[in-house]
Amino acid sequence: MSEPAFRVVRLDGPERLPEALAVIHEVFGHYEGNLVPPSAALKETVDSIGRRLADGAVFLAEDSDGRAIGAVCADRKGDAMYLGRLAVRPECQGRGVGAALVAAVERFAAEAGADRISIGVRLALTDNIRMFQGLGFVETGRTAHPGFSEPTSMDLAKPVGR
């Protein structure tokens, strides 16, 4: 079995945060005009992502040339680790990059003593919901963004270590 054509690294400083931000903006930019309300991911900055380095983590997937092809952030929220801003460049989707980034957050959550990993996914993004369910996440509830009377997002969680 051959090695994957990418690797996942945990960022330990601000040097590569602009690359992570560029991937997040590129991927979430594809949703612009299609998600109501719009995704707040496009408002992320190097500083806002960098704040996660203190209490959480930022992971970058890079190809064999060192080019950033995916990113994800992890934030501690109570006894859970929140997985946010998962982004994989479109031309790299379907190759296991997203699953590898989720696995990196899972390992980080276990090391940090979190009970579970949680995530919120827009109901309109049915492929994303299916992907997370395929990775063992289960629905824990639905929420409505401010100003909406019906749910706009599904909350999912996965126990750490399972």
pLDDT in tens, 27-41: 999 988 888 888 999
| 123 domain residue, yes or no | no
| 80 domain residue, yes or no | yes
Structurally, the chain folds into a number of domains equal to 1
Range of the domain at 22: 6-115
pLDDT of residue 46: 95
pLDDT of residue 119: 97
The total of other beta-carbon atoms located within 10 Å of residue 146's CB is 6
Instruction: Using CB atoms within 10 Å of the CB of residue 35, give its burial: 0 to 12 exposed, 13 to 18 middle, 19+ buried.
Output: middle
Residue 85's region, left for phi above 0, alpha for psi from -120 to 50, else beta, is left
pLDDT in tens, 102-115: 999 999 999 999 99
- Split at pLDDT 50, 70, 90, the class of 162 is low
- Split at pLDDT 50, 70, 90, the class of 161 is confident
For the cut 90, the answer to whether the pLDDT of residue 23 exceeds it is yes
Average pLDDT over residues 140-149: 94
pLDDT of residue 37: 86
Cα–Cα distance between 83 and 120 in angstroms, integer?
A: 8
Average pLDDT, the chain: 92
| 159 domain residue, yes or no | no
| 49 domain residue, yes or no | yes
| 110 domain residue, yes or no | yes
| 134 domain residue, yes or no | no
| Domain CATH code at residue 109 | 3.40.630.30
| 25 domain residue, yes or no | yes
